[in-house]
Amino acid sequence: MTQRTEELLAASIAAAKRAASSSRKCKDPPRPFQPKDVDAQDAAEDEDEEAQYHPQLQLHSYEEDEEGKTILLDHATLAEIFNLPKDGTILKFSTHYPIVHEGYDQQGAIKQIYGNENITTNVPPKAIQLTLTSRIIHSIISYNILPRLGSRSNVSLYEIFIIWCVLNGHRLDLAHIILNILNNCATKKETRGSLPYGMALTTIYNYFNMPLDNEIDFYKPTNKDAYSDATLHMMGLVKNENGEWIRREPIHVGNVPVQDEVSIEQHPKG
């Protein structure tokens, strides 16, 4: 993994943590992704150990009237709440249609995240077929930026575009992406009244001084909420004799092998 890629990945992780996901409408929404850290003592302590988040909070509309107080959640406010840049690439949210953006070529992006220029397919890959760097970025995206229920084995067209942006240093307007997803859920009958980003909604309600005293379901972040050896093992990765991360089994697309990135730099202990 190059230094540039590591910097982009670190920036993606930092941004994703600000928008930790919850679920769409379901009887018992799952808790956010909590990979176990086999070296928890090596992880940095959280800056605010007393912080608590309510993963099942719901925001029923963008204007919430509470005891005569109207709350308006717009792009500028959301960017301020999470300290997000107010610029970057803006695209209407869609997981089904090709992305049209200056400088972006879907076929080229697929080759890049496969790690092989000989790939000719234009079909979105499976998550297991991605290079190691792209797969970690995809995991962060599917849990935090474009949250969804069910299997995360498939990679959507929108996810391919975001991975491409991260790998190539293109800024994304996360506030715009989040609002598009919220609007997409709020306007669909099957998801109306229940929105993703339950963990982020805690921060939004706190920003507007909304009382949460009656909420009994909460989650307290710990220093175990990090990508670790255990997380990579769950992705089907193993260390070789040189201590480098590789796939447990070789991956091919047709007869073309998918390239392995055999080195992921480990953070020094201490």
Whether 27 is covered by a domain: the verdict is yes
Whether 166 is covered by a domain: the verdict is yes
pLDDT at residue 242 is higher than 50: yes
pLDDT at residue 15 is higher than 80: no
Whether 264 is covered by a domain: the verdict is no
How far apart, in whole angstroms, are the C-alpha atoms of residue 42 and residue 262? Answer: 23
Q: Which of 17, 36, 39, 42 is nearest to 233 (CA)?
A: 36
Whether 16 is covered by a domain: the verdict is yes
Range of the domain at 73: 3-41+51-257
Residue 229, number of CB atoms within 10 A of its CB: 16
Whether 23 is covered by a domain: the verdict is yes
**Largest CA-CA distance found in the chain, in angstroms, rounded:** 65
25 vs 230 pLDDT, higher one: 230
The predicted model gives 239-254 an average pLDDT of 72
pLDDT cut 90: percent of the chain above it: 6
Residue 66 confidence (pLDDT) = 52
Whether 46 is covered by a domain: the verdict is no
pLDDT in tens, 200-222: 778 888 888 877 777 666 666 66
Average pLDDT of the chain is 68
252 vs 185 pLDDT, higher one: 185
How far apart, in whole angstroms, are the C-alpha atoms of residue 91 and residue 144? Answer: 18
pTM above 0.75, yes or no: no
Q: Which positions ≥6 away from 243 have C-beta within 8 Å?
A: 266
- For the chain, the straight-line distance linking the first and the last C-alpha, in angstroms and rounded, comes to 22
Whether 90 is covered by a domain: the verdict is yes
Q: Could you tell me which residues are beta bridge partners of residue 70?
A: 65
The predicted model gives 234-246 an average pLDDT of 82
How far apart, in whole angstroms, are the C-alpha atoms of residue 169 and residue 145? Answer: 17
pLDDT in tens, 102-127: 889 988 998 898 887 877 777 777 88
Whether 250 is covered by a domain: the verdict is yes
Q: Are 56 and 198 within 8 A, CB to CB?
A: yes
pLDDT in tens, 133-163: 898 899 889 888 888 777 888 898 889 999 9
DSSP H stretches of helix in 82-187: 106-114, 132-140, 157-168, 174-186
Residue 151 confidence (pLDDT) = 80
Residue 73 confidence (pLDDT) = 81
Q: What's the structural domain count of the chain? A: 1
How far apart, in whole angstroms, are the C-alpha atoms of residue 32 and residue 121? Answer: 33
Residue 167 confidence (pLDDT) = 94
Residue 207 confidence (pLDDT) = 87
Q: Which positions ≥6 away from 156 have C-beta within 8 Å?
A: 95, 96, 124, 146
